Amino acid sequence: MTEPARQVVTATSTNAARSITVTCTDAGAITELHFEPAVYGHGARSLAAEILRLSQRSTLLAKARRRQLLADAGLAPVLLDRLGLPFPEAVDAQLAALEDQGTPEAPRGWVRAI
């Protein structure tokens, strides 16, 4: 079995309509992205914002999973804190905050509407 520090830890989040699903690692890298063709009708900005929100949610859940794996392996809480891995109690509060703030504005990039 792989040691906890070397495992790829992921988590998956889905929107309420179950039309967008995002899987991320605890480092925030998107490993899987699925969405229904119908979401194209909501516009690129809306789609990007929802993918961003779901990726933030998935990353937070993966970090919590990583903390639990390392804690189970015997890593000291002070080291888990230094790694920036959230406490289980903090995860619920952060998830609620993500839900309360709604869908974030899509990131700005080099692409502009004409």
b/e burial code for range 13-25 (CB count within 10 A of at least 16 → b) = bebeeebbbbbbb
Q: Tell me if 104 sits within 8 A of 53, measured CB to CB.
A: yes
- pTM, rounded to two decimals: 0.79
- The tens digit of pLDDT for each residue in 22-43 reads 999 999 999 999 999 888 888 8
The mean per-residue pLDDT over the stretch 100-110 comes to: 56
- Whose tokens are 């700005």? That residue is 108
- The tens digit of pLDDT for each residue in 45-84 reads 888 989 999 999 999 999 999 999 999 999 998 999 898 8
79: Cβ contacts below 8 Å, ≥ 6 apart: 70
**Hey, where are the domains in the chain?**
10-98
75: Cβ contacts below 8 Å, ≥ 6 apart: none
